[in-house]
Amino acid sequence: MTYMTKEIKFSLLYRDMWQSSGKYVPTVEQLTEVAPAIIDMGCFARVETNGGGFEQINLLFGENPNKSVREWTQPFNDAGIQTHMLERGLNGIRMSPVPADVRRLMFQVKKKQGTDIARSFDGLNDPRNLKNSILFAKEAGMISQAALSLTVSPIHTVEYYIDLADTLIETGADEICIKDMAGVGRPASIGRIIKNIKQKYPAIPVTYHGHAGPGFQMASILEAAYAGAEYIDVGMEPLSWGTGHADLLAVQAMLKDAGFNVPDINMKAYMKVRSLTQKYIDDFLGYYIDPKNRVMNSLLIGPGLPGGMMGSLMADLENNLISLNKWKVKNGQSELTQDDLLIKLFDEVTYVWPKVGYPPLVTPYSQYVKNLALMNVLQLEKGKERWTMIADNIWDMILGNAGKLPGTPAPEIIALAKQQGRVFYTGDPQELYPDQLDEFRAEMQQKNWDAGQDDEELFELAMHPEQYRAYKSGDAKRSFEADLAKRKAEKETLSTPSAPVVVKTTNGSGCQPRTVVITIDNEEYVVSISYPDAETNGPQPARSPEPVLQKETAAAGDKSAAPVPSSNRSVKEVVSPLEGKFFLTKDSSETALKVGDIVKKDDIIGYIESMKTYNAVAAEEGGTVIEICFANGDSVDEDDVLIKIK
């Protein structure tokens, strides 16, 4: 059978390529620099220009996301290349549910900014959460592309996805995307799903989107093409493969050999895009890309974690590993390596996933399952029980506040919910999140902030309140620049040859010194050396001592210095259970704690925002708040004292 008459079109995932590799995406200046070369490649019918995570990253830079989207999409609009965005249904383009009026405004703003297609997915595959996305996208004049979030479980069968596609198309979706976000979809099953959709709805275009990590993707692409998919999402070097996507060159060559009609590639322009992308990595983006994210790993088949979150996952592991190892050293235990923690995490994800009802592992539920698994691992490593730290966002997923879980939570989870007085919800999730645009409009008027062209600034505040306020105050830009400077300094230190070390003894024995003065960079350190195995007067065995270098006085405010015992034994300290950012409230409905307030045992005193979830911190004893030790949004380490109670 020949496929020469069957045309396959390519979509470049220039947003997702970066997000699947690291934390950040290029600046607007970099994006507008690379856009003409992407167009000159001549092989893309579509380019992914914005969506989930993209605008939050702009805000973290201290960059206006609306300016970025408008300027980045314009060249593609002018060239007749369709642009598409990724949005998360009930969660819009953030991690938590969004009121309906804010969701409606999002599609209106994005269309006016130049985005043609809204790819909408729901992390639970709950059609109720996609109903408004389809309605609002079409209402705004966008193409509504509804996504099937693919995963592999006893519940997620070929028939399950065929039925879901039927429902979404009947709801009004113009297109269907097979969103194989973890790359764990089995090729033959993907082919059967697409073939059935195309037989029933030949006029409905189908896109296959997958990740390369576990190793199935090239076979899946070929099966998708044979089954009738019109569009294939691709990446390109230097950000293809690994936790990213199959490379354009390999996909084009494979499909051409199979007899499909595929576009030619302008290789001069390809090399230009490749070179510019590498330049952005070398400039600063590489400081946020873990080298392991450039490697394919079939261990991902088991936990099924998506490529799009692997960049943040490795950063989360790095931060939590530091905290965990501090605890282990303090308690006389052996430290773990990053690989040790990664394998423990993968095993725990496999254990946890069925117990929370098999939510498809896609944003935000992949993060929730991963976070829950990681919290379990950290608690188990410290000799504690599972399930002792479940963030409110995760409870919302379990209780049905974000949609219907595919499966049923395990009995121990249901029992824990009842024990904590939590109630399961079966209604339409959108009804739990009332309209809020009027509140945010009032805030903008109060602060004399411009609502922006087409109300785009109002939308940004309503979609990302905390990040937008930090952007407007300049805190976000300062924090980002400080973090980047720190990373650059650390890299420079590691790559700079060590300064020569000059050692002189102070006891004059010339044999085995008890005290030495070590000079490093013209600064002297007095080091005492002990030989614990030696007898006082006997011969000393040869050894290589491992002295600890320590200045005579610790720097003021050094958290590593030993704490001074408090003389006031009635003061109780509430400490952070993990590393992250400290917030007194998680939304505008809560009142922030202040000095002088009286708290009771188990009252929530604040939250630690870590790994995109807010983890409530409760007081273990009651009393009066006498000190709040950190400002709202400050970074904290595990065991840092957050508040003091008397």
| Pairwise CA distance, residues 133 & 515, whole Å | 71
**Which of 519, 551, 583 is the endpoint of a domain?**
551
Residues 351, 404 within the same domain: yes
| Pairwise CA distance, residues 517 & 520, whole Å | 10
pLDDT, tens digit (0-9, with 9 covering 90-100), for 55-114: 888 998 899 999 999 999 999 999 999 999 999 999 999 988 999 999 999 999 999 999
pLDDT of residue 551: 34
Q: Within a domain: residue 258?
A: no
Task: Output the six-digit token pair for 508.
Answer: 């004059």
pLDDT of residue 308: 53
The SS3 of residue 445 is helix
Q: What is the DSSP letter of 394?
A: H
| Pairwise CA distance, residues 319 & 610, whole Å | 10
Q: Within a domain: residue 306?
A: yes
The SS3 of residue 462 is helix
| Pairwise CA distance, residues 361 & 402, whole Å | 15
pLDDT, tens digit (0-9, with 9 covering 90-100), for 318-331: 777 887 888 888 88
- Residues 6 or more apart in contact with residue 149 via CB below 8 angstroms: 121, 122, 123, 125, 179, 181, 360, 362
The C-alpha angle with vertex 618 and arms to 614 and 622, in degrees rounded to 5, equals 155
pLDDT, tens digit (0-9, with 9 covering 90-100), for 220-263: 999 999 999 999 999 999 999 988 999 999 999 999 999 999 99
Lowest mean pLDDT across 2-6, 35-39, 580-584: 2-6
User: 223, 180 in Cβ contact below 8 A?
Assistant: no
Average pLDDT estimate for 168-176: 98
**Which of 377, 397, 432 is the endpoint of a domain?**
432
The amino acid that residue 558 corresponds to is D
Q: Within a domain: residue 449?
A: no
Average pLDDT estimate for 120-145: 97
Backbone angles phi, psi at 129, to 5 degrees: -75, -20
Residues 518, 581 within the same domain: no
- Residues forming beta bridges with residue 7, ordered by sequence position: 261
CATH number, domain at 582? Answer: 2.40.50.100
- The residue among 204, 205, 238, 207 whose CA lies nearest residue 220 is 207
CA 285 to chain centre: 15
> 10 Å Cβ neighbour count for 205?
17
pLDDT, tens digit (0-9, with 9 covering 90-100), for 415-470: 999 999 999 999 999 999 999 999 999 999 999 999 999 999 999 999 999 899 99
| Pairwise CA distance, residues 482 & 504, whole Å | 38
Q: Within a domain: residue 383?
A: yes
Residue ranges making up the domain that contains 582: 572-645
- Residues forming beta bridges with residue 582, ordered by sequence position: 608
Q: Within a domain: residue 529?
A: yes
User: 457, 449 in Cβ contact below 8 A?
Assistant: yes
b/e code 547-572 from CB counts within 10 Å (16+ = b)? eeeeeeeeeeeeeeeeeeeeeeeeee
CA 305 to chain centre: 12
Residues 322, 367 within the same domain: yes
> Domain tally for the chain?
3
Residues 521, 579 within the same domain: no
Q: Within a domain: residue 93?
A: no
Q: Within a domain: residue 332?
A: yes
- The residue among 191, 210, 188, 187 whose CA lies nearest residue 306 is 210
588: pLDDT confidence band, cut at 50, 70 and 90?
low
Q: Within a domain: residue 17?
A: no
| Pairwise CA distance, residues 587 & 419, whole Å | 25
The amino acid that residue 625 corresponds to is V
